[in-house]
Chains A and B, each alone.
Chain A
Amino acid sequence: MLIVSPRMAAVTQEKQYTPSLLSFFVYNPSFGPREGEEEKKILFYHPSEVEKNEKIRNVGLCEAIVQFTRTFCPTKPAKSLHTQKNRQFFFEAEDSYWIVMIVKNPMVEKPNKDGKPPTIEYQEEEVLDTVYGAVLRQCYSMYKLFNGTFGRAMEAGGVELLIPKLEKFFYRYLQTLHLQSCDLLDVFGGISFFPLDKMTYLKIQSFVNRVEENLRLVKYTAFLYNDQLIWSGLEQDDMRILYKYLTTSLFPRHSEPELAGRDSALRPEVSGNLLHYGRFLTGPANLKDPDAKFRFPRIFVHTEDGSEELHLIVYKAMSAAVCFMISASVELTREFCERLDALVGPQLTLLASDICEQFTLNRRISGPDKEPQFKFIYFNHMNLAEKSTIHMRKTASVSLTSVHPDLMKILGDINCDFARVDEDEEVIVKAMTDYWVVGKKSDQRELYVILNQKNANLIEVNEEVKRLCATQFNNIFFLD
């Protein structure tokens, strides 16, 4: 599995194009079954400027492919279509509701002499189905988090309601899709958990329980620190997508005021007495503002019998953020927000500094974190816990990785192999650039390690990974 990237043998003035979004559409074949009514099937189409007939043609093509492949396997129709220039992903989000995403393959443009048009090389193998399939499903999950299911909108107001909802949501959401930086972590859609000692964890529990007791309206609470999850009262699947929203959208948008100095205009006015640093990330920016609006984003989560709609209040003090979720049937008032602020603000400020203190203490005990020799990604399917030393930080725009895209591609390939079988497996790959890539799967856990050791042989690499497991993962059952 050795890959030679054309990018490495760089020729001057070569132009590299990363994968990008060509089009994205939602349709339901049952809405326009008769000829001449095809347009009715289309619920959303990006880019919207595309001419109507072309839209109909593209949708029809997708429909046909899905129908055709269904004849081979009725339960598992095609999920993607590979072509030289692009790749199409099909996803039946709800019964008969299809979402299609078409991604332009990455390509290299090589200039030619003598004014000839440049040669274009499409790198169709660089795109991983698993990664973009996951991105597509995530688009739907995100839509559903804020809008509920398609079926729900149809029931409430038919296509007249559904279409504007789709437009409103996807118009903005698609702009935030950064297809060039999607990788294995998108496949996992994991949650990064904040490491914490038992006592501090119990204090947080105590805090959450007290607030929920005091503010009876609060139905669920989630607690995060440093953009990592500590506690979720929501069920796992809901938390997964909410976590994605918080860490890739909401938190990055609000990180600036804290980085700004005390006197900066960006910094929100700390309420009155400086007793606490609590503030609302959703809803009113400033409680003192007489014109403040007490409107919060609404989200939909699963319940035993369907779904429920909730207000999402995100409140933050220093690095600690808490999500309070309240039934959407209740109207939230200024009084409630003031009560919440007065109750939660001081406690959360204290707790945040406690956690910070514990965290630095623990770090000091375990020694200053030296840059390890190896980089790894860990994921546990059971609790969605992910840990990556490859990704440096997540921002609203891009997730920065510290390794070459080729290595990321190898990780993705190994992951595809793992997904095919149930057995525990181990794969060791020697990449072109002196790197060793090791993938391990044990029960429901996956570990990917990238080692930068020239001249190391297979046995040494194996030993090295064993050592890593013994130090980093000694408290879990990981078969060697």
Chain B
Amino acid sequence: MATTMSEEHYLELCESPVQFEHASSVNNVFFDEANKQVFAVRSGGATGVVVKGPDDKNSIAFRMDDKGEVKCIKFSIGNKILAVQRTSKSVDFINFIPDYPHTEFSQECKMKNASVLGFCWTNWNEIVFITDQGIELYQVFPDKRSVKLIKSQSLSVNWYQYCPETAVLLLSTSGQGNVLQPFVFRNGTLSKMTKFEIELPVVPKPAKLSLSERDIAMATIYGQLYVMYLKHHSRTANSPSAEVVLYHLPREGLCKKSHVLKLNTTGKFALNIVDNLVVVHHQSTQTSLIYDIHLREPDCALNTHQPVLPARSIHPYRIPLTDGAPRLPLNVCVCAGYLWYLQVKLPPTVNLQQDKGKLMDFLLRRRDCKMVILSVCSQILEGGERGSLPVVATVFDKLNQVYKEYLEAEQMYTLAMESGPSRNSAAQKRPVRTQAVIDQSDMYTHVLSSFTERKGVCHKFIIAVLMEYIRSLNQSQITVQHYLYELVIKTLVQHNRFYMLHQFLQYHVLSDSKPLACLLLSLESTYPPAHQLSLDMLKRLSTANDEIVEVLLSKQQVLGALRFIRSVGSHDNVSARKFLDAAQQTSDQMLFYTVFRSFQQRNQRLRGNPAFNPGEHCEEHVVHFKQLFGEQSLMKAATA
């Protein structure tokens, strides 16, 4: 039981957590979302500050004067300037640029009687203060150790949240706190976005602050900014369980309620975004749920989502040397001194979602999905969990849809590049090939070739699967690679299904190509009609006239070859020697005579002389001709 459970953990903590000194009475710990840095401040900085980032193993350590309890501490982007807030009135700055003076300087908030709730770096030298009366955007000049106000906005603020990726600041205003005012920072400017209101389940009377910052989070999912609102259940409002409501916050336009995630339970929750999935942790059961807002739920109302998979806990992480199990659901465990990143583990999801179509929709949107998708493909083709053909078809269609979109984007890009790089430069980004693009060679290498060679699989099923894949590719208008056809042919030949093969070729299901035509030629000894099929294919290719001649000559059909070469108009360029050789080999003297004379006539027409050029190496044939028919039968050069 324990092992099966652990195999089902689809969330895990990263292997190498960021370690730091755990929080205590002398050690304060801060986390900066923007730079993903953990600050451990000992004794107000006097005995040291240690900063650890997510991947840079080199931590920064320094000392600063203890000027009071640190409330907030953050580096500007690129670790250029450190900002420390110690009072509710001002923020202090320390340069971290080499050669610049290291002495602290300070900036008080401009608004009178306001108290600073916090600050955010919006650039390497731009910072915004959020006070209870508004926001103030400053530019910091480290060399001059001065700070200049760029812009300010006054409005009453309950609390704020900042999304570093999009540089959007969200302010809670109004008495109940549910009117949210977003601002966006761009190149030293500050612009106000349209404000919106979160629908509260119950309107309190008298009005009081009802929307807590703990229940609001901002996140970018699939490249779009969302405000997530954790809406707790309320007995009075007839909502039996909690839900997460997503408000889409576009760059321009109105913020709209866009998705509802049904949690189907009550209690305390925490939210995370991992790989574009919303992860909801439930404290009392110590389990987590994942939601994919792009998955359509046919049986739900528009944009209402159920969890993709059943609830599971995060794969346990044993902390070395300490007995404390990781505290869920936070991914920063302040007490233990560890910072983890949450990861989605895809392999366990495969067995938790029985609907393979839905599973594919889910997997195709994940970052490291390729090998898992390929393993699902193998799984539905082989073994005990074999899928039915409609399931196989659905999976193939989904893969090929993504594959096709990529190919189309690639083609558009190529076209755009060819037509001149100057125009419309925005559209000319080379499409990124994500792991979800599973092409024919991936399928061939990882799934189909081993599947067709597997013992004990009914050949009917193998052929059905290969044809289904070819059908799916065709449906997506993707050119099928010849090695897939070769796989079909190989399988059919192995099981003596020549008539099936013949029918496929007859309907051009296996598209023409030289490799395929050659493969067919090689089958002639076991299946004579393959010869005709191959010749037809070469003919249709229209670039394989030389091959056709070779085939005909090898069958001693010298006249046929000669007639063919005439019909395609390349009689003047072919090597006479090749034809004469073949004619001589038939030991049919009349045939040799005919072919010989035909080339003599050609020579006469081209050069005014029936003799062969030395370069044509036909001397032995001339000798042979003379032996058979005598000197006098040779065509003589017309004498003027």
**B342 at the A/B interface (Cβ < 8 Å)?**
no
Q: Is the CB of A477 within 8 A of B538?
A: yes
A232 and B460 CA atoms in complex are apart in Å by 14
* B389 touching A210, Cβ below 8 Å: yes
Q: Is the CB of B507 within 8 A of A198?
A: yes
Interface pair B508/A232, CB less than 8 Å apart: no
Task: Quote the shortest CB–CB distance from A213 to chain B (angstroms).
Answer: 5
- Is B506 within 8 A of A385, CB to CB? yes
CB distance from B115 to the nearest CB of A (A): 70
Q: Are A424 and B393 in contact (CB under 8 A)?
A: no
Q: Type the 1/0 row for A231-269, where 1 means its CB is closer than 8 Å to any CB of B.
A: 111011001000000000000000000000000000000
* A-B interface, 4 closest residue pairs, ranked by CB to CB distance from nearest: A209-B464, A202-B471, A382-B529, A477-B535
- Map CB proximity to A onto B488-526 as digits: 1 under 8 Å, 0 otherwise: 000000000001101100111100000000000000000
A202 near B461 (CB under 8 angstroms)? no
Q: A475-B536, A477-B535 are in contact. Are A383 and B389 (CB under 8 A)?
A: no
List 12 A–B pairs whose Cβ atoms lie within 8 Å, in order of A's numbering.
A193-B506, A196-B507, A198-B474, A199-B475, A203-B471, A213-B389, A382-B529, A383-B502, A477-B535, A477-B538, A477-B539, A480-B564
Q: Does B214 contact A (CB under 8 A)?
A: no
Q: Which size bracket describes the interface of A in this complex?
A: 20 to 34
Decide if A206 touches B467 in the complex (CB within 8 Å): yes
Chain B interface (Cβ < 8 Å from any Cβ of A): 388-390, 393, 460-461, 463-464, 467-468, 470-471, 474-475, 499-500, 502-503, 506-509, 529, 531-533, 535-536, 538-540, 548, 560, 563-564, 567
Q: How far is the CA of A443 from the CA of B535 in the complex (A)?
A: 10
- Which residue on A lies nearest to B567, using beta carbons? A480
> Is B471 within 8 A of A231, CB to CB?
no
B531 surroundings in chain A (CB, below 8 A): 443
What distance in Å separates the Cβ of A236 from its nearest Cβ neighbour in chain B?
A: 5
The closest CB in chain A to the CB of B496 belongs to: A304
Q: Does A201 contact B (CB under 8 A)?
A: yes
Knowing A213-B389, A213-B461, A480-B567, the reply to whether A201 touches B560 (Cβ < 8 A) is no
Contact A201 B509 (CB under 8 A): yes
A interface SS class: mixed
Partner of B471, one of A205, A383, A385, A444: A205
Q: How far is the CB of A434 from chain B (nearest CB, A)?
A: 29
Contacts of A214 in B (CB 8 A): 388
Known A424-B560, A476-B539, A480-B567; contact A198-B508, beta-carbon cutoff 8 A = yes
The CA-CA distance from A222 to B416 in the complex, in Å, is 48
**Assuming the A-B contacts A201-B509, A235-B499, are A476 and B536 also in contact, with contact meaning beta carbons closer than 8 angstroms in the complex?**
yes
The answer to whether B563 touches A479, judged by C-beta atoms less than 8 angstroms apart, is yes
Name which of B461, B475, B532 has the most chain A CB atoms within 10 A of its CB.
B532
CB–CB B532/A232 < 8 A: no
- Within 160-206 of A, Cβ neighbours of B (below 8 Å) are at 193, 196, 198-199, 201-203, 205-206
A121 lies within 8 A of chain B by Cβ: no
Instruction: Give bound CA distance, A209 to B467, whole Å.
Output: 9
For the complex, would chain B's binding face be called helix, strand, loop or mixed by DSSP majority?
Answer: helix
How far apart are the CA atoms of A110 and B503 in the complex, in Å? 53
Question: Could you say which residues of chain B place their CB within 8 Å of the CB of A380?
Answer: 532
Query: Which residues from chain A contact B538 at a C-beta distance below 8 Å?
Result: 477
Q: Are A201 and B507 in contact (CB under 8 A)?
A: yes
A126 interface residue per 8 A CB criterion: no
With most chain B CB atoms within 10 A of its CB, the pick from A209, A232, A475 is A209
Which residues of chain B come closer than 8 Å to A424, judged between CB atoms?
560
In the bound assembly, the distance between CA atoms of A280 and B509 in angstroms comes to 30
Spell out A's residues near B (CB within 8 Å): 193, 196, 198-199, 201-203, 205-206, 209-210, 212-214, 231-233, 235-236, 239, 380, 382-383, 385, 424, 443-445, 475-477, 479-480
Q: Which residue of chain A lies nearest to B528 when distances are taken between CB atoms in the complex?
A: A382
Q: Specify the chain B residue showing the minimal Cβ separation from A230.
A: B507
Q: Return chain B residues, CB-CB under 8 Å to A239.
A: 499
Complex Cα–Cα for A236 and B540 (A): 25
Contacts of B468 in A (CB 8 A): 206, 209
The CA-CA distance from A231 to B506 in the complex, in Å, is 11
A382-B474 contact in complex given A212-B460, A479-B564, C-beta closer than 8 Å: no
**Bound-complex Cα distance A443 to B393 (A):** 40
B502 engages A209 (CB within 8 Å): no
Q: Which residue of B lies closest to A203 (CB)?
A: B471
Contacting residues, chain B, for A209 (C-beta < 8 A): 389, 460, 463-464, 467-468
A201, A205, A477, A479 — most chain B CB neighbours (10 Å): A477
Tell me which residues across on chain B come within 8 A of A445, comparing CB atoms.
532
- 11 new A-B contacts, CB < 8 A, other than A206-B389, A443-B531, are A198-B507, A202-B470, A202-B475, A209-B389, A209-B463, A210-B389, A239-B499, A382-B532, A385-B506, A424-B560, A477-B548
Q: Contacts of A477 on B, CB cut-off 8 Å?
A: 532, 535-536, 538-539, 548
- Which of chain A's residues has its CB closest to B535's CB? A477
- B residues within 8 A CB of A199? 471, 474-475
Residues A383 and B548 in contact in the complex (CB < 8 Å), given A206-B471, A213-B461, A477-B539: no
A474 to B532, CA, bound (A): 14
A198 to B538, CA, bound (A): 19
B532 contact set on A, CB distance < 8 A? 380, 382, 443-445, 477
CA distance A209 to B391 in the complex (A): 13
- Collect the chain A residues with CB atoms within 8 Å of residue B560's CB: 424, 479
The answer to whether B503 and A232 have CB atoms under 8 Å apart is yes
Instruction: Tell whether, in the assembled complex, residue B548 and residue A232 are in contact, meaning their CB atoms are under 8 Å apart.
Output: no
Q: What CA separation (Å) do A254 and B509 show in the bound complex?
A: 32
- Closest Cβ of chain A to B433, distance in Å, is 27
Inter-chain contacts of B467 with A (CB < 8 A)? 202, 205-206, 209
Contact of A202 among B474, B500, B539, B567 (CB under 8 A): B474
Assess the B564–A383 pair: CB atoms within 8 A.
no
Closest-CB distance, B59 to chain A (whole angstroms): 59
Q: How far is the CA of A292 from the CA of B596 in the complex (A)?
A: 75
Known A201-B507, A210-B390, A475-B540: A232·B471 in contact at CB below 8 Å: no
Give Cα A232 to B548, complex, Å.
30
Contacts of A198 in B (CB 8 A): 474, 507-509
Q: Which residues of A contact B564 (CB under 8 A)?
A: 479-480
The smallest C-beta distance from A183 to any residue of chain B, in angstroms, reads: 25
**Among the listed B388, B474, B536, which residue makes an inter-chain contact with A213, where contact means beta carbons less than 8 Å apart?**
B388
| A383 and B529 contact, Cβ closer than 8 Å, known pairs A202-B474, A203-B471 | yes
Q: Is the beta-carbon distance between A202 and B503 smaller than 8 angstroms? A: no
Most buried by A among B388, B502, B507, B540: B507
- A214 CA to B390 CA, complexed, in Å: 10
A126 to B506, CA, bound (A): 36
